[in-house]
């Protein structure tokens, strides 16, 4: 089955710095990936997604990079703010024909003021 994992469980950055959160996946046939942000006591919030026919996608202050050669995904957050502190999950769409997501283990981002 699919396997989605993160390299680091925690990440601390200074306010204003850029953050990079990494994710590895094992299924080379995966074609859709999503990043979610989950704040304490809340449900996951969609941040950005990317399909396998793209290498890079940009949103507001966020960029997702996809390297299919090494099956690696990253989320870059520019000018990190205290409100960015949360757990970030990458998720991979299942390959069973339905939209079942497989989540990675999550990275807790802490922004130091």
* Residues found near other proteins in the complex (CB under 8 A): 32, 34, 36, 41-46, 49, 89, 96-106
**Contacting residues for 101 by C-beta, under 8 A, at least 6 apart:** 34, 91, 92, 93, 94
Nearest distance from residue 3's CB to other proteins, in Å? 12
Residue placing its CB nearer to other proteins in the complex, 44 or 77 = 44
**Given its phi and psi angles, is residue 54 left (phi above 0), alpha (psi -120 to 50 degrees) or beta?**
beta
Nearer to other proteins, 43 or 83 (CB): 43
Find the shortest distance in angstroms from Cβ 52 to other proteins.
13
Q: Which is nearer to other proteins, 5 or 82 (CB)?
A: 5
Nearer CB in complex with other proteins: 53/96: 96
Which residues are CB-neighbours of 89 under 8 A, at least 6 positions away? 35, 36, 38, 44, 103, 104, 106
């Amino acid at each position: 089955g699919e396997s989605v994992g993160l390299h680091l469980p925690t990440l601390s950055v200074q306010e204003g710095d850029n953050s990079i959160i990494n994710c590895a996946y094992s299924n080379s046939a995966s074609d859709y990936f999503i990043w979610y942000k989950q704040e304490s006591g809340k449900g996951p919030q969609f941040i950005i997604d990317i399909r396998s026919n793209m290498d890079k996608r940009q949103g507001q202050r966020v960029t997702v990079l996809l390297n299919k050669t090494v099956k690696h995904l990253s989320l870059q957050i520019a000018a990190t703010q205290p409100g960015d502190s949360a757990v970030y999950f990458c998720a991979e769409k299942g390959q069973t024909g339905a939209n079942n997501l497989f989540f990675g283990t999550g990275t807790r981002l802490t922004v130091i003021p």
